[in-house]
């Protein structure tokens, strides 16, 4: 009985602390909530505390706030990287910028709704631009990049 009460209390504490974090006006930084690395084998990951420069991927021309990212260094064929940013620019503006910039850097691209997929050689990228729920920002940018070796 005591174990059940303890687990219920822990569940409620986690629920309320997650809700208060979501209500914050400040971006939630992954670095504040996670260890620096984890997992094993193909699932091993490393926390990115700052943005990575990725081959042939242009950096967004507008002002951005890096939220966080992960690198999966042991994925078959080469590492996979994900990064998240916030920006005050509208989603349509950001999407168009990425589509134009990828094409200008000789990526072959396809766009479906809020996602732009690009292929250049063996490397691939997916850029998803969605409306931000964070106060003061209009868009969230999620970049998923596969670097083949």
CATH number of the domain bearing residue 35? 3.30.310
Whether the per-residue pLDDT at 23 is higher than 60: the answer is no
Regarding predicted confidence, which is higher, 35 or 58?
58
In a domain, residue 59? The reply is yes
In a domain, residue 4? The reply is no
- pTM of the predicted protein model: 0.76
Whether the per-residue pLDDT at 135 is higher than 80: the answer is yes
In a domain, residue 58? The reply is yes
**What are the CB-based long-range contacts (under 8 Å, 24+) for 24-29?**
25/134, 25/135, 25/136, 26/134, 27/65, 27/67, 27/86, 27/134, 27/137, 28/67, 29/67, 29/68
Is residue 95 helix, strand or coil? helix
pLDDT tens profile 82-133: 999 999 999 999 999 999 999 999 999 999 999 999 999 999 999 999 999 9
Number of compact structural domains in the chain: 1
What's residue 26's pLDDT? 53
State which residues form the domain around 139.
27-146
Tokens of 98: 């990425």
In a domain, residue 56? The reply is yes
């Amino acid at each position: 009985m005591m174990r059940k009460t303890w687990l219920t209390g822990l569940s409620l504490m986690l629920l309320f602390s997650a809700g208060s974090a979501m209500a914050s006006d400040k971006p939630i930084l992954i670095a504040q909530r996670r260890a620096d690395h984890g997992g094993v084998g193909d699932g091993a990951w490393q926390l990115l505390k700052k943005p990575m420069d990725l081959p042939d991927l242009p950096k967004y021309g507008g002002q951005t706030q890096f939220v966080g990212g992960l690198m999966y260094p042991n994925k078959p064929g080469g590492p996979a990287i994900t990064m998240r940013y916030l920006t005050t620019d509208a989603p349509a503006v950001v999407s168009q910028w990425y589509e134009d910039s990828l094409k200008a850097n000789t990526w072959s691209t396809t766009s479906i709704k809020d996602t732009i997929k690009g292929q250049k050689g063996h490397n691939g990228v997916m850029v998803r631009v969605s409306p931000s729920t964070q106060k003061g920002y209009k868009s969230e940018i999620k970049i998923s990049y596969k670097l083949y070796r």
